[in-house]
Amino acid sequence: MTIKVGDKIPSAKLMEATADGPKEVTTDELFAGKTVVLFGVPGAFTPTCSAKHLPGFITNAAAFTAKGVDTVACMAVNDVFVMGAWRKDQGVKDEVVMLADGGAAFTKALGLEFDLTARGLGVRVQRFALVAKDGVVTHIAVEAPGAFEVSNAESVLAAL
């Protein structure tokens, strides 16, 4: 069942790629008492994710803060070292939290997984963006396969 507006973010452990190395973070810590924008990408270093999706959230970080967002987080079903390398490659500082869902457990709990095993990529997260206030989803946008229209930074800003 795909997560929807009004649902509570499921409890899960993720790995955060920080400038100081990997750090475990729980979704309870990440979302409790905050307004959080979480966007998911099918994979670090992939074309749309690297050229458009992540850069849009980096560029618009101040606009999210101005609208009351405490945290902007990017997540992918990649390991934390890949997310760390992507963080460095994209010049991410503290404006976006980079989260690894290596085993796709959180992705599956959200109901946002899709299987690209036949293409050699394994289980991935669908491209999406959500807004949660104190751990409750207030907005969610999931892209159709191959699309990049509703989960971009500008669309999320318009929904706030």
Average pLDDT over residues 61-83: 97
Domain boundaries, position 86: 13-159
Q: Decide if 49 is inside a domain.
A: yes
Q: Decide if 34 is inside a domain.
A: yes
Q: Decide if 75 is inside a domain.
A: yes
Q: Decide if 73 is inside a domain.
A: yes
pLDDT at 1 over 80: no
| 101 and 125 Cβ atoms separated by less than 8 Å | yes
Q: How many domains are contained in the chain?
A: 1
pLDDT of 120? 66
pTM for the model:
0.95
pLDDT at 88 over 70: yes
What's the number of CA atoms in the CB half-sphere (13 Å) around residue 156? Answer: 35
**Of 44-58, 65-79, 102-116, 119-133, where does mean pLDDT reach its minimum?**
119-133
Q: Decide if 8 is inside a domain.
A: no
pLDDT of 57? 97
Q: Decide if 130 is inside a domain.
A: yes
CATH of the domain at 114: 3.40.30.10
Q: Decide if 5 is inside a domain.
A: no
Using the structure block, give the residue that is written with the tokens 């969610």. 140
pLDDT of 119? 74
What's the pLDDT tens digit per position in 102-154? 999 999 999 999 887 677 677 889 999 999 999 999 999 999 988 999 999 99
Mean pLDDT for the chain?
Answer: 94
Q: Decide if 63 is inside a domain.
A: yes
74 is catalytic: no
User: Of 49, 69, 125, 129, which residue is the catalytic one?
Assistant: 49
